[in-house]
Amino acid sequence: MEQVASQISIKGIREGLLITVPDHGSFADLLPLLTAELAQKQAFLQGSQVALQVGYRNLGKDELRELQLLFEQNQLELWAVLADKPDTRQAARELTLATRLSGSQTDLNGNFLSQSAEPETAVPQEETPRGGLILKETLRSGRSIYHEGHVVIIGDVNPGAEVVASGDVIVWGRLRGLVHAGALGDETAVICALELSPTQLRIANQIAIAPEEKGRRAIPEQAAIRNGQIVAEMWQR
């Protein structure tokens, strides 16, 4: 069962989270594995919208309802089911779930637009499920990013915005919101920014709030855990 569990990947996308489960094995085997994965990472994932990639699994309405309930119990909202089986997509639509992501190579019913599109959409899920996420934008108040891996933001993180990552967080701009790096317990994670003026920083289980320093010259800084607490030091790029 551990081999199947290791094939469950969770990564951040523009719409929230994309959770990919193996498309083989029985639903009875999948449910406890997914339950354990969500319970382990609940603090990292909670509050997110979820698109579930099930591949060639045949899932009916009752099974999809069970999955909806499981996500709700973990404070998650299942809003889309991405499936290769038409019957699974139909069951999802009957539960008012989406069956495609915006900008994907599928029609409105979730069917691939060309024969070559199917293998292309499968590749990113297998390459680096816990790799980096790069965003070229400014995160404004109310925006939340959750990603299992490293996050690089080319832009600012404004007050009221939130970034949570299991790895490092790099902000090529001003960091003035909340950032949590090493969210799954990695105390070696770091937070770097060209200007480090956050409302709150978290690394693993440590929390720090930046003091107000009016007139301080902005310099690139790196926050890391040193001797059990978060400290800021010059970022040696």
Domains plus CATH for the chain?
2-127 (3.30.750.50), 133-234 (2.160.20.70)
Residue 53's beta-bridge partner residues? 20, 82
- Does the pTM surpass 0.85? The reply is no
On whether the CB atoms of residues 111 and 85 are closer than 8 A, the answer is: no
Is 110 a residue whose pLDDT tops 60? Answer: no
Percent of the chain exceeding pLDDT 90 equals 45
Q: What is the tens place of the pLDDT at every residue in 68-84?
A: 999 999 999 999 999 99
The dihedrals phi and psi of 148, each to the nearest 5 degrees, come to: -90, 90
Collapsed DSSP state (helix, strand, coil) of residue 223: strand
Mean pLDDT score across all residues of the chain: 82
Residue whose C-alpha is closest to residue 19's, from 87, 71, 91, 86: 71
Q: Which residues contact residue 3 at a Cβ distance below 8 angstroms, ignoring those fewer than 6 apart?
A: none
Stretch 93-104: mean pLDDT: 78
